[in-house]
Amino acid sequence: MSLLGGIGWLFAVLVALGGAGGCGYHFPGEGSTLPGGGGRVQVVRFDNRTRSPGVENDVLEGLEVEIGRRGQFRVVHDSAEADLVLEGSITSLEVRPVAFSKSDETLQYETVMVVAASLRDPRSNSVVWRISSLRETDSYGAVSQTVVASSSAFLSQSNLNANDLNQLTDVQLSESQRREALDRVVENLSRDLYNAIVEDF
């Protein structure tokens, strides 16, 4: 390729990149508007259709924290102040075994949560955005041999430390890991639902 041809090719690439930037490319969840407009959101406690009591409170807190953390919109607790109402249902929550030892002992579980959600304009009572099924999963070790205490995931996400693994029974460890996996599912759900709303997926 000649020098002139190379310069022409580079110019074309730069123009293309500049055009992409001009089209409003941004990272997920950085949208500045909500479907239907407005910036004040009331999060209503989701309908819990699972057999896990209290998970609706975890989802409510997770969503309010996520909206507040992003800082683009404001959470309000009175529908009279809200531009939009975020409501929905937790349609399923399952904890199922996914890995077994040679003796059929469960080594790993997977937590799966599915929600449906919508944004409603409280003045017109019309739904301006809806998602019928958002699915989040997370897995966890059920016995100490399957938990790697030195892994970055364990060090950054777990409330336990390496000494705890030796002191807890498998039942205690599994319950602690189950709770932490549910916390991660709720956190990821809140993030992904927020992103879906502002990106109007």
Question: Are residues 139 and 44 both part of a single domain?
Answer: yes
Question: Are residues 24 and 87 both part of a single domain?
Answer: no
**CATH code (residue 40):** 3.30.160.150
Question: Are residues 26 and 85 both part of a single domain?
Answer: no
Res 156: pLDDT: 54
Look at the chain and report how many structural domains it folds into.
2
| Length reported for the chain | 201
Whose tokens are 């819990």? That residue is 48
Question: Are residues 8 and 84 both part of a single domain?
Answer: no
CA dist., res. 140 & res. 125, Å (int): 41
Mean pLDDT of 108-127: 95
Structure tokens at 31: 């949208």
Write the burial class of residue 108 (CB in 10 Å: 0-12 exposed, 13-18 middle, 19+ buried): middle
Angle, helices 55-70/170-198, rounded to nearest 10 degrees: 50
Question: Are residues 7 and 88 both part of a single domain?
Answer: no
Res 190: pLDDT: 98
Q: Spell out the residues 6+ positions from residue 93 whose beta carbon is closer than 8 angstroms to its own.
A: 50, 51, 52, 55, 111, 112, 113, 114
Question: Are residues 24 and 76 both part of a single domain?
Answer: no
Mean pLDDT of 39-67: 97
Nearest to 141 by CA among 118, 113, 168: 168
Question: Are residues 39 and 78 both part of a single domain?
Answer: yes
Question: Are residues 20 and 48 both part of a single domain?
Answer: no
Domain containing 24 equals 1-30
Question: Are residues 122 and 62 both part of a single domain?
Answer: yes
Question: Are residues 65 and 19 both part of a single domain?
Answer: no
Question: Are residues 17 and 116 both part of a single domain?
Answer: no
Residue 106, helix vs strand vs coil? strand
Q: What is the pTM of this model?
A: 0.74
Question: Are residues 44 and 4 both part of a single domain?
Answer: no
pLDDT digit string, tens, across residues 168-183: 666 777 788 889 999 9
Whether the pLDDT of residue 24 is over 50: the answer is: no
